[in-house]
Structure 1
Amino acid sequence: MAKTMTRATSLLVLTFLLLLLFLNSVSSWKRDEFRTCNQTPFCKRARSRKPGSCSLFATDVAINDGDLIAKLIPKKPREENGEDEQAQEDEPIKPLLLRLSAYQNGILRLKIDEDPSFDPPKKRFEVPDVILPEFHNKKLWLQSVSTEVIDGDSAPSSIVYLSDDYEAVLRHDPFVVYVRKKGGDLVLSMNSHGLFDFEQLRTKKKEGEDWEERFRGHTDTRPYGPQSISFDVSFYGADFVYGIPEHASSLALKPSRGPGVEDSEPYRLFNLDVFEYIHDSPFGIYGSIPFMISHGKARGTSGFFWLNAAEMQIDVMGSGWDAESGISLPSSQNRIDTLWMSEAGIVDAFFFVGPGPKDVVSQYASVTGTPAMPQHFATAYHQCRWNYRDEEDVENVDSKFDEFNIPYDVLWLDIEHTDGKKYFTWDRMLFPNPEEMQNKLAAKGRHMVTIVDPHIKRDESFHLHKEATKMGHYVKDATGKDYDGWCWPGSSSYPDMLNPEIRSWWAEKFSFQNYVGSTPSLYIWNDMNEPSVFNGPEVTMPRDALHYGGVEHRELHNAYGYYFHMATSNGLLKRGDGKDRPFVLSRAFFPGSQRYGAVWTGDNSADWDHLRVSVPMILTLGLTGISFSVEVLGGSMERVRREDLISGISPGRGVQPMIVTQPGYCLRSRNLEGDETWTLTEYSSRTMTRMYIELIIKERNDLSWRERNTELMRDAIHIRYMLLPYFYTLFREASSSGVPVVRPLWMEFPSDEATFSNDEAFMVGNSLLVQGIYTERAKHASVYLPGGQSWYDLRTGIAYEGGVTHKLKVLEESVPAFQKSGTIVPRKDRFRRSSTQMVNDPYTLVIALNSSLAAEGELYIDDGKSFEFEQGAYIHRHFLFSDGKLISSNIAPSTSGKMLFSSDCVVERIILLGNYPGAKSALIEPANHKAEVELGPLSLQGGRSPNVLTIRKPNVRITDDWTIKIL
C-alpha cells in the first residue's frame, strides 16, 4: 500500500512538474530567460575592444594551390596589449593562417584559422554540407599576385584579380582585406577599424573563469577555453543594410550602437524557441542566416556572408560612430560599419560585389544553393490547426470546405495525432485508419502533413528509442552519456544529425514499411528543431553537449535544425525512390535550408504589431535565400478577439494580401471568446506560406457576421488559386536564380530612394505590388507607387500614376494591390476543390499595357511533382505584346525536337488593361480565325470597364507558337 501511494505521489509530482514545464515553454516572452550581450562573455569582450586594437600584420604572402596565403602575426608584444607575463608563458604566440580565394562572378572567399603546423589542441569546427560542391569548380586559380604600395600606405598590399571590374586587396600592415572597383572605389572591407580578434584554443592548466560559464543555474564547461572571433566589416556607398534573419524587426536594419543607441542589444543569431517573441527587436529567434546585404543609390548592392554555426552577435553602427571612436572618414565616402562577433568556429567569409540586388542574391545562391522547386500543390492553400480530435473531425473539416466552396490542398496534423507523442506513430483510438483517411483526401486531390520533431521519447517500449540507444545515435552530454532533455513527450534524447550515417538512418524511418500508416500523399513538418529543450539553458541544448567528431554543441548550434531538415527531406526522397519532390516545413533554419524545403517564422501573438512585422521578416528571408517562408497571424495559443477579426486582421485587410500575394500567414486559434470553433488555415505557398490564414466561424449567434467573413475568406482564397500559375512561374525563377518570389520594392526599383526603407509594401515577382494594412479599423492607406510606369488596380483595372504617393480608401473586401504596366500575368480562373483538379483548366492572360502599349511576361509549367523538369520536361513560354500583337514563343532549351512534357490547356481569355483604341476583333494566327473582343470584366466578380478589354475564347494551345493581332 505504501509502495502504491509512493508511486501515485511520484506520478502526481511528475505530472505537476511537466505541467509547469509546459506552461513555461508556451508562455510568452520572458526577457530574463534569455541572455543579453553583457551576460554573454564573448559578446561583452568583443564590444569592449577599441578601434585599432588589432596588431596583426600579414607576412609570408605567397600563392599556394591557386590561392593567396599569408600568416597573421602580432606586431606588438603581448604586454603592450595588456596581457601579463604568465599568459605569455602559458600560451606562446601562434600565427594564424589566412587564405584568399577568388571565384567566378566576382566572389571573394576569406578563411582565417589556427595554423595546423603549430598543433592546436583540436581542429576548429568548419561547417560541412552547406557550400554547394559545384561552387568549388568556379574557383579562379591564381597564378601570381601583384604587390604594391597603395594610396600612400607605409606598407605594401597584395592585389588579387576578381573580375574585369573588381579586385581584392590584402593590406599587409595593418592587416586589412577589402574589395574595390579596379583602381577605384571601395565596396567592402574587413578590419579597416582594427577590431579583429581571434581567441585561440588552449589546454586547461589551471582553474579559472575561462573554463566555464553560468547562466540562470546552468553551467556550460569550456574545455578549450574561450574561442571567439570578432571583426568589423564596412559597406561602402551604402544607404541601408538588410538581412541577417531571423529577427522581428524592420527590413532596413536599425543601428544597434552609436549616438542615442549605446544601451541597445546587437542583432543576435542564435536559434531559440521564443514563444510570442516581441516585435521590433534585434533578439534572435528560430533561425539564423549570417548574410548581410547593403544597398545605396550611388554604389548599388553588395553582400557579406560568414559561414559559421556558433552563436553570433552583430552590431550595426549608427551615424557618428566613427567620430566617437576617433576615426574619421573622407566625406566623399558614405559607408555603414558593422561588428561581427561569434563564440566559436573559424573565419569563412564571402564577399559579394553585386553590383545589383539580384546579382548579390544570385551570387549568394551560387554558394549555398537556390530554393528547391516545390510540388505544385504546396503553392496552394493549406489547412492547419492544433489539433484535430480524430478522423471524424478531419472528415468534417474536409467536408466543410466543400460545403462552403473553399478550395484547399493540404490538411495538417499536430502532435496530438501520435501515440503518446512518439513520432512515426498514430493514436489508434483516435486515428485507427490513417491510410484510409489519407486516401479519402487524395481522392479529391488533397494531401496530409504530419509533424515529426527531433526529440525522441525515452521510453524503453518505443522501438525508435531502443534502436537509437543501441546504435549510439544520440547527442552526448559533456560526460559522454546520451543527452537527456525535456520536451513535449517528457524525458527525450536527440539524434546527432551532424553525423551523415545517422542522417541516413533517420531518412530510412520515412519509408512506408517504417512509418506505418503513411502513404505517398503524406508529407512532413519539422518543429522544435532549434533544438528546443524545455529544461535547458535558454530553452535549448547546453553548449558543452558533444556531437560527431567531438564537436561541441556551441560550435554547431545554429545548424542543428538545418541537418534535421536535410535528413527529413532526404527521407521523403528515399521513400519515393527519388521520383517526387519532397515537401518538408522546418521551424529552425540556416544557410542552405532553402535546398530542403520551406520554413516558417514561429509562434507570434495576436496583435497588429506582429502583423506589421511579418512583412519585413518574410522579405528578409527571401533576400537571404529562403523564398518559401511562412508567417503566423493571430498567435498560436491565445484567443482571438472577435473585434480583431471584424476590424480586418482576418477577412479583408490582413488575409487578402497574404493569400493573394504575401508568403505567409497563420491565424491560429483554438477558441473565440471561449467558444468552440472550427477553423480553416491557409498554408499557402512556397512563398509558402504556411499561409496560415484561418477562417474562424462562430457556431452560434451572429449568423450575418459569420456568413460575411466566410464570403471574404472564400473570395480571397479563390484569388490565390487564380494566381497559382503566376506563383509557380516565380518559384521556377527562384529555383533557377535565387531571386525571391516576394521582394522588397528596392529590388525591382534599385534607383528609387523612396523604396529603400519601405517595408509596408512589397512586390510579388516583377509584376504585382501589394500594400499591407497594419492599423486597426483603417479607412485609408497611403500607397507609394514607384515611378517610371503606371499601375493598375487588381480589382478594378483603374490606372494610377507612378512616382506618387496615393491616398486610397481601404475596403473591407480588399487591400491596395496593383499590376505594373508593361507586364503580363497568367491566371486560372475556374474554381475547383484543389489545385490538382485545375491541371487541365484553361488560362487567362492579364496584359497591363505601358505607355507604349506594350507588355511582356512568362509562364512555366511542368508535371507539378517530379524531377523530370531537370531533364527538360517542362513548358516555358514568353509572351510579348507590341504593335497590337500578342506573340507566344518558346524559351525552354532545345530537346532535340522532342517535347518531353506537353499540355492540352488553352488560353480562354486575354484581358488588356489600359485604353487600347479601336479594337473590334482579334485575328489568331496561324489558325487564321477571329475571336470576339468586348469591354471587361477584369475578374469573374468584376463589372465592365472602359479601361478593360477582353478577347474571348481565342482557344490557342499553351504549348504552341501563335500570334493574336487586334483588329
Structure 2
Amino acid sequence: MLAALLLAILGLAVSSVMAVKQHDFKLCHQSGFCSRQRAVAELVEKFPTLGPNYKFIESSLKLGKAGVEFKIVEQSHIGGSVQPGGDELLVTLDILKAAGTVRVRADPVVAKDQKPRYKSDEFVLTSVPEKSNLKVASANDKDVHYEWTHDSAKYAFVVEKSPFTIRFYVNGDEAISMNDHDLFFYENQIVKEEPAPAPPADQNAAAEDKKVDERSDDEKEFDRLKEAVRKDQWAEQFGSHHDSKPHGPTSIGLDISFPGSKHVYGIPEHATSFALKPTRGEISGEPYRLYNFDVFEYELNSPMALYGSIPFMLSHKKGQTVGVFWQNPSEMWIDVEHKSADSTTSHWMVESGSFDIFVFLGPHAAAVLDSYTSLTGRAAMPQSFAIAYHQCRWNYLDEADVQGVDGNFEKHDIPYDVLWLDIEHTDGKRYFTWDNAKFPNPANMQSDLAVKGRKMVTIIDPHIKKDDNYHVSSEAKSAGIFVKNKDGSDYEGWCWPGSSNWIDYTNAAARSFWSKKFLYNQYEGSTPTLYTWNDMNEPSVFNGPEITMPKDLVHHDNVEHRDVHNIYGMLQHRSTYEGHLLRSIDNDRPFILSRAFFAGSQRYGAIWTGDNFARWDHLEASVPMLLSIGIAGQSFSGADVGGFFGDPEPELMVRWFQTAAFQPFYRGHAHIDTKRREPWIYGEPFTGHIRSAIRTRYQLLPYIYTLFRESTVSGTPVMRPLWYAFPDDEATFAVDDEFMLGSAFLIKPVVQKDTAETEVLLPAGSNWYDYETLVKVDPSASGKLNVKTPLDKLPVFLRGGSIVPRRDRIRRSSALTIKDPYTLVIALDEKGEALGEFYNDDGRSFDYKKGDYVYAQLEFRDNTLRCTSPVAKYTDVSAKISKPKFTGHDSRVERLIIVGVHSKPKRVVSSSGANLEFTFAREGGVVVVKEPQGVFGKEWHVAFEF
C-alpha cells in the first residue's frame, strides 16, 4: 500500500513501477553490526592462527541434573576495548521436557553501569519452559557430556572446552554444532573513546611526508579487518536518517552448522526458494535479513527482509530433522554456506538483545514442530468460515457496491464466506469509524450478509491519525501509550491518515486500551459477524528510516525500538485478538489477519505474504514462501489470489484460484488502481474454471478443517513440503514447485502461461491416483509423470493409503452446509489399506476444548472400513469434560468411494448386517457405496466381500 501514496505524490501510476526501490533498504555493508560481524568472519577465516576467540573458564563449571553452566571469556584479539568486568559470559545449557529440546543461553556478567539485555520471553514463550532431570552427565579436562533418551531416541550434547564448541547428537549422529568455526562474537557494552585531537595542520602534513608504511600485506589486512570490527559502533547514518545508538555496540554473532545436511529451510519471510540458497562461499551475496518491512512489490529470489520474521531454521537429511530457534526480536542477518559438499553452516548476526537459542533434536520433523510450538504456542483453531473463500479489494466503494458484489456471487452460483473492506471505508483513515456517506448503515450491511451465513472484515491499522477530535487519538495521548521519542515526547510519523502516532503494544496498558476499542459500544456499527485485518503493522512509517520506525525510539520500560521491532506487529495482532475475546466474553474464536508476524503469531490467527504482483512468477513464488512460513509454525497463511498489484490476465487468474484452493488461507485481493477482477468479470470459460476451483475448496472443507485441528495440537503444518511426507526420499528435499495438503493430496501448480503439459514428481512408496478421474497413475522409475494440463486441469493427486472426508453438496457459504451429509474417499495403498481422520465442532466457540466435538478415526483394512471415536484425542485433559452438546448437526455418511479395488465385490455389508447398494467401475477399480449407515461420533463398519 505504501507505493500508492508515494507514487501519487510523484504523479505516477502504480502500474508503471515494476520493482522494489532497493535504495530504500540497507544492504549488509550499510548495516554497522552486519558489516562488523562479517568482518569477524573474515578475520577468523584469513587468520586462523589467532587461536580461539573465547576461552572456557574451568573453575566456573557447574553440573546439574537439568544441564550445565560455565563461564567463557573473550580473548580480545578481535574485539578489543572491552569494558572491565563485562567481557565474561555465563553460558547455560538446560535440557527441557519438550522432547529433544535444549535451551542455550549466554548472558554477560553485567557491570553495574551496563544496560540489561532485552529478553522477550513474556511475549514469545507461552510459559517458562520446564526442565527435565533424567540425565547422565560427565566431565573431564577436554569436554562436558550429557546424554538422555525420549521415546526411543537417544540425545546428547558435548561442550568442548578448547576450542569452545557445543555439539549435539541424535542417535549417535552429530546433528548440530555451535561455534565450530569460531564465529561466536558477543559485543559487550564498551567505554566510548573520544578521538584524540588532531595535530596542527603543518605538523600533520610533515608527519605524513615522513610516514612510511612498512607493514606486510597480511598486517595491513589484519588491521583493516580489526578496524571494520569497530565500524559504526556508536552512531549510524542511512540516507537522511541518524541512529544515535545511545548504548553503543550490542550485537551477537554465532555460527550454527548442520553436519551431513545439504538442505536448510525456514527463517521466513523471504521471496526465495524453500531450500535456502548459499549466501557465502562459491556463491557470495547478501545474507538473509529478518527485519519486518513494508516492501512495495517485493523482488523474487532475494534474501531481503519482508513483512514477517521468524528466526527458526530447520535442517533435514535422510533419517533426521533438527531445528534451531533464536528467541530474539531484534534485527538479524543470516549467512548460509556449504563449507563441505554434504554439510551446511549458517552464520547468525543479531543487532541487540539476548543470546537465547532453543535447539530441537527431532529426530523427525513432526517432533521438531511439536516441541517448537509447545514453547511458542499452538496455532489458534479458526472458525469454520475462516478457511473458506474470502473476497477483498482496496476498496469496495459503498454499501451498494457491497450489495452488488454479494449479489453477483449469488447470480453466478459461486460460494464465498467473507467480504472485506479496506481503508477507504473509514472516516478519513480514522480506524474504528465508518464513512457515513458511503456506509451509513454498517450494522444492517453486516446483517444482510449474515443471513446468508457470511461475515465481513474491516481493516484496522496501528497508526493513529493525530487529531484531538478523534477519540482514539485523544484518549491514547492522554493515557500516554504512544511510542516515544528519546526526549519522552510522542513519536510522530507519516502514514495513511497523514501525521500519525503509534500505539506502544509492548505496554500492557496500551494492549488493554486497544482491546477495549473492539467492544460494540466503542466500535460503533460493529456486530458479532465483523472481524479484523491488521495491516501496515511492521510498523510501516512512510517517512521513517527504511520505511519504518527509527531504532532509537523508546517503548515501555525504557526499551529501545531496536530491541522489539520484530514483535511489534505480533503484539498488535495479539491485542486485536484479545479485543475480540473481550467483546464476545470469550465465547467466539477471533478471526484476525496480520501482515507482520514473529514466532508465536500462530496463537492469534492468520497472516499473508503481503503486496505481491499479478505475475506468473509471483504465483510460482507463493508456494516456497508459504512452505517456509508453515514449517516455522505459522500454518494459517496465504498469498493474495491474482496478485495485489497489476491486472492479471484471465489464464493467470484461473491458475491462481486453482492453486490457492489447496493452500491454508484463500483470499482474492487487489490494489485500488487495478481493474475489477471478481470471479465473474472474465466471462466464460474462465468464470466456470474459477467457480470449479472455489467449489473444490468448499467440497474439501471437512478435510481441511480436520488438518487445522491437527495443527493446533501438534504444530504440524496444513500445507507441507514433499519431504515431510517422504523424509527418506532425497529427490524431494529441494522440491518447492509441488506441495502436500495434509498427507493425502499432492499438488503441482501450473505457473507458466499456455502450459499444455507439465512434469510431476510422485514420490515412490505410495500408490497415486489422479484426484479428478480417480484412476491410478504409473510414474516412471524416477517418479516422474507427464500430465496434460488444459485450463480446466490442475495436477492434483490422491495418495494411496488416505481417507478423505468431504461434503459434495455446494451451498452459498460454508455455514449453510452444516446439516449436509459426508462422503468418504478411500484411496487404497499397495496393501489394500487406508487411514484417515474426521474432526468437527460447532465451528465458532471454544467448547471443543471441553470435549464438545465429534472425532472419528477411520481405517480400511482386511476389506473392511471401520469408524471409531476415541473422544479424548483432542480434549484438554485439564478441562472438566461434560457430556458433549455438539452432535455434528448431521454427521451422517451418505456415500463411500473406494479407489484402487482389484475386482468387483460380491456384496457390501453394513454393521447391522444389511446388504448395501453399490456400483463398480473397472477402470480405476472404483466402488461407490450409497448410504453405508454410518454416522461420525459412533462406531460402525462396512465389510466388502470378494
Instruction: Establish whether TM, by shorter chain, passes 0.5.
Output: yes
- Secondary structure at 1:934's aligned position in 2? strand
Match of 1:217 in 2: 240
Written as runs of structure 1 = structure 2, the 5 A alignment for 1:329-478 is 334-478=342-486
Q: Which runs of 4+ in 1 moved over 6 A?
A: 15-18, 21-26, 894-897
Pairwise CA distance, 1:125: 0.5
Match of 1:778 in 2: 755
1:172 and 2:155 aligned: no
Pairwise CA distance, 1:120: 4.4
Pairwise CA distance, 1:528: 0.2
1:842 and 2:821 aligned: yes
Match of 1:914 in 2: 900
Match of 2:842 in 1: 863
Structure 1 residue runs of 5 or longer lacking an equivalent are 1-14, 150-154, 321-330, 681-694, 699-705, 937-943
Match of 1:110 in 2: 104
Written as runs of structure 1 = structure 2, the 5 A alignment for 1:45-194 is 45-49=36-40, 50-51=43-44, 54-59=52-57, 60-63=60-63, 66-74=66-74, 76=75, 78=76, 80-81=77-78, 83=80, 87=81, 91=84, 94-104=87-97, 105-116=99-110, 118-134=111-127, 136=129, 138-141=130-133, 145-149=137-141, 155-159=142-146, 161=148, 163=150, 165-181=154-170, 184-194=172-182
Match of 1:275 in 2: 296
One-letter amino acid of the counterpart of residue 162, structure 2: D
Aligned mates of 2:244, 2:608 — CA distance in 1: 33
Deviations 1:456-489 (A, max 9, x none): 0001110111011111100001222100010000
Pairwise CA distance, 1:282: 0.6
Deviations 1:542-596 (A, max 9, x none): 0101001111111111111011111010110111101111000000000000000
Pairwise CA distance, 1:192: 1.0
Bigger shift: 741-750 or 852-861? 852-861
Pairwise CA distance, 1:131: 4.5
Aligned mates of 1:632, 1:610 — CA distance in 2: 10
Written as runs of structure 1 = structure 2, the 5 A alignment for 1:636-675 is 636-640=644-648, 644-645=649-650, 648-651=651-654, 653-661=655-663, 663-664=665-666, 666=668, 668=670
Pairwise CA distance, 1:212: 1.2
Aligned mates of 1:450, 1:897 — CA distance in 2: 36
Bigger shift: 357-366 or 557-566? 357-366
Aligned mates of 1:539, 1:72 — CA distance in 2: 39
Aligned mates of 1:21, 1:747 — CA distance in 2: 49
Aligned mates of 1:144, 1:925 — CA distance in 2: 53
Deviations 1:897-927 (A, max 9, x none): 944421333111111111341325422113x
Bigger shift: 471-480 or 163-172? 163-172
Q: Please report the TM-score for the alignment, with normalisation by the length of structure 1.
A: 0.88
- Secondary structure at 1:697's aligned position in 2? coil
1:852 and 2:831 aligned: yes
1:265 and 2:286 aligned: yes
Match of 1:765 in 2: 742
* Aligned equivalent of 2:27, options 36, 41, 47: 36
One-letter amino acid of the counterpart of residue 182, structure 2: G
Match of 1:960 in 2: 938
- Secondary structure at 1:931's aligned position in 2? coil
Q: Is the 8 A contact 1:193 1:232 kept in 2?
A: yes
Q: Is the 8 A contact 1:385 1:414 kept in 2?
A: yes
- Secondary structure at 2:324's aligned position in 1? strand
Aligned mates of 2:596, 2:711 — CA distance in 1: 21
Match of 1:742 in 2: 719
Pairwise CA distance, 1:504: 1.2
Match of 1:935 in 2: 920
Aligned mates of 1:728, 1:634 — CA distance in 2: 24
One-letter amino acid of the counterpart of residue 147, structure 1: A
Q: Is the 8 A contact 1:97 1:112 kept in 2?
A: yes
Bigger shift: 127-136 or 527-536? 127-136
The 3 A distance-change label for structure 1 pair 394 and 82 is closer
Pairwise CA distance, 1:841: 0.2
Bigger shift: 747-756 or 55-64? 55-64
Match of 1:483 in 2: 491
Aligned mates of 2:135, 2:320 — CA distance in 1: 31
Aligned mates of 2:304, 2:276 — CA distance in 1: 13
- Secondary structure at 1:367's aligned position in 2? helix
Pairwise CA distance, 1:798: 1.2
Written as runs of structure 1 = structure 2, the 5 A alignment for 1:366-765 is 366-640=374-648, 644-645=649-650, 648-651=651-654, 653-661=655-663, 663-664=665-666, 666=668, 668=670, 677=676, 679-680=677-678, 695=679, 697=681, 706-765=683-742
The 3 A distance-change label for structure 1 pair 160 and 804 is closer
1:792 and 2:769 aligned: yes
- Secondary structure at 2:401's aligned position in 1? helix
Deviations 1:256-294 (A, max 9, x none): 0001x22x1000001000011010111110000000000
- Secondary structure at 1:165's aligned position in 2? strand
Count matched residues. 884
1:947 and 2:925 aligned: yes
One-letter amino acid of the counterpart of residue 198, structure 1: Y
Match of 1:197 in 2: 185
Aligned mates of 1:16, 1:829 — CA distance in 2: 48
The 3 A distance-change label for structure 1 pair 24 and 318 is farther
Pairwise CA distance, 1:820: 0.5
Deviations 1:192-243 (A, max 9, x none): 1111111112455647953210001100111111111001001122120000
Aligned mates of 1:731, 1:178 — CA distance in 2: 35
Deviations 1:811-866 (A, max 9, x none): 21121101101111001000111000100100000011122222111100111111
Match of 2:321 in 1: 301
Structure 2 residue runs of 5 or longer lacking an equivalent are 196-230, 874-879
Q: Is the 8 A contact 2:851 2:882 kept in 1?
A: no
Deviations 1:52-91 (A, max 9, x none): 56521222011479542211112x3x4x4474xxx36x65
Aligned mates of 2:553, 2:289 — CA distance in 1: 21
Q: CA RMSD in A?
A: 2.3
Q: Is the 8 A contact 2:269 2:306 kept in 1?
A: yes
Aligned mates of 1:156, 1:896 — CA distance in 2: 50
Q: Is the 8 A contact 2:135 2:147 kept in 1?
A: no
Aligned mates of 1:456, 1:957 — CA distance in 2: 52
- Secondary structure at 2:684's aligned position in 1? helix
Aligned mates of 2:291, 2:804 — CA distance in 1: 40
Aligned mates of 1:23, 1:460 — CA distance in 2: 34
Match of 1:238 in 2: 261
Match of 1:314 in 2: 334
The 3 A distance-change label for structure 1 pair 697 and 439 is same
Deviations 1:858-883 (A, max 9, x none): 10011111111111111110111122
The 3 A distance-change label for structure 1 pair 662 and 731 is closer
Aligned mates of 1:892, 1:45 — CA distance in 2: 56
One-letter amino acid of the counterpart of residue 887, structure 1: R
One-letter amino acid of the counterpart of residue 487, structure 1: C
Aligned mates of 2:508, 2:14 — CA distance in 1: 34
One-letter amino acid of the counterpart of residue 732, structure 1: R
Aligned mates of 2:7, 2:924 — CA distance in 1: 69
One-letter amino acid of the counterpart of residue 331, structure 2: E
Q: Please report the TM-score for the alignment, with normalisation by the length of structure 2.
A: 0.90
Bigger shift: 358-367 or 223-232? 358-367
- Secondary structure at 1:649's aligned position in 2? helix
Deviations 1:419-470 (A, max 9, x none): 0000000001110000000011111100000000000000111011101111
Q: Is the 8 A contact 1:660 1:716 kept in 2?
A: no
The 3 A distance-change label for structure 1 pair 514 and 22 is farther
Match of 1:228 in 2: 251
